[in-house]
Amino acid sequence: MKPSKNELINVLREVIYFPKGDNIINLKMVDDIELEDNLIRFRLLFEKIDDEKNQFLIDTATQMLKDAFGDIEIDIIAASQENSLSKVRHIIAVASGKGGVGKSTVAVNLAIGLALQGMKVGLLDADIYGPSIPVMFGNEETRPLGYERDGKSYMLPIEKYGVKMLSIGHLVDKEMPLIWRGPMASNALSQLLLDTEWGELDYMVVDMPPGTGDIQLCLAQNFKLSGSVIVTTPQKVAFADVRRAANMFRHEGVNVPILGLVENMAYFTPSDMPEKKYFIFGKNTGKEFAEELNLPLLAQIPIDENVSQANDTGTPFSFNGFSPVAAAFEKLAKKIIEML
Ligand SMILES: Nc1ncnc2c1ncn2[C@@H]1O[C@H](COP(=O)(O)OP(=O)(O)OP(=O)(O)O)[C@@H](O)[C@H]1O
Ligand SMILES: [Mg+2]
């Protein structure tokens, strides 16, 4: 009898790909599932298509499907996982359940911080409806160049401050995405990721839109994220949003490791009294959130009016020499390198 897609996926979850120590569903190796009355067909995506060990995995999966569903034809097609992101070692999502907490600020300064540590870094603006990367980098008018490979057109990311980046804001008029419906936005995101010649990168930082909607799910389910960073502010009322974001990444079927929390606008230090810290929105809140969710608190970023100004004038802060904020971002970048 023809199994449902869910039943099929449940069986495939038992198939472990030993070189990576996880099952083939979590590893996003299964693609293009077709179910017919007497046939199960799908593609199994391998990093190296000519690896001798691939056949062993195909045989194991075939046997497990036969054991589960009886006499049914199984057609597993080995295919190459290669795409524009194949040479990207780690994709890191910067997210939060809430708007305006500083995701874009953290994403931009983390990307630059990683680049300043000598890493090859990309930055993708996944905020299709409200992109901020072009403003923060002061390159709103720049358009990516085109490039052709194997008869297919790609975009080349735009480079500034040592970071390769791309945003929907670099492609279309600001107002345009606002009228797009969900699938168009998800499609645009996939194109930014897959139709762009990212080349070799140590880290790709993704600036997520606020909340836990379609775009977040599209990214988490279709691309292999190495980890996520959740940004919060120190108000206790923010906890529900932080928990929602954490639950989204921990949800079965999403399963993205959370590297930790970043508490933005954690305190205020007047520039003429650098030893003072004023905890305007609450003290220890980030630490409490982190403990409650059993996550590390990766960084506490102070409030600094220059951050806002830097964002608005396209000269990211971390690029601007020493300050407590730049130091906090440097520490964050080093921690991420240590973790991944
Ligand atoms: N540490 C900081 N000190 C001062 N201003 C900050 C700080 N972090 C962020 N801001 C400012 O707060 C505003 C919101 O920041 P940002 O755009 O990074 O948030 P966001 O979470 O990406 O927002 P959205 O949900 O709209 O995408 C911006 O004007 C930014 O310049
Ligand atoms: Mg943003």
Q: What is the pLDDT of residue 175?
A: 79
Better-predicted residue by pLDDT, 178 or 210: 210
Q: What is the pLDDT of residue 320?
A: 64
- Distance of CA 309 from the midpoint of ligand 1 (Å): 11
Q: How far apart are CA 278 and CA 304, in angstroms?
A: 12
Mean pLDDT of 64-81: 92
Mean pLDDT of 149-166: 90
Mean pLDDT of 77-91: 90
Above 70 in pLDDT, residue 266? yes
- Distance of CA 53 from the midpoint of ligand 2 (Å): 43
Q: Does the CB atom of residue 130 touch ligand 1 within 6 A?
A: yes
Domain range 88-339, CATH class: alpha beta
Ligand 1 pocket check: which of 96, 98, 104, 105 to mutate, most ligand atoms within 8 Å of Cβ?
Answer: 105
* Nearest CA owner, ligand 1 atom 19: 102
The yes/no answer on whether domain 5-80 falls in CATH 3.40.50.300 is no
Please name which ligand lies nearest the alpha carbon of 136: 1
Break the chain into its structural domains and give their ranges.
5-80, 88-339
Instruction: Say what the pTM is.
Output: 0.84
Q: Where is average pLDDT lowest: 107-116, 208-217, 311-320?
A: 311-320
- Distance of CA 293 from the midpoint of ligand 2 (Å): 23
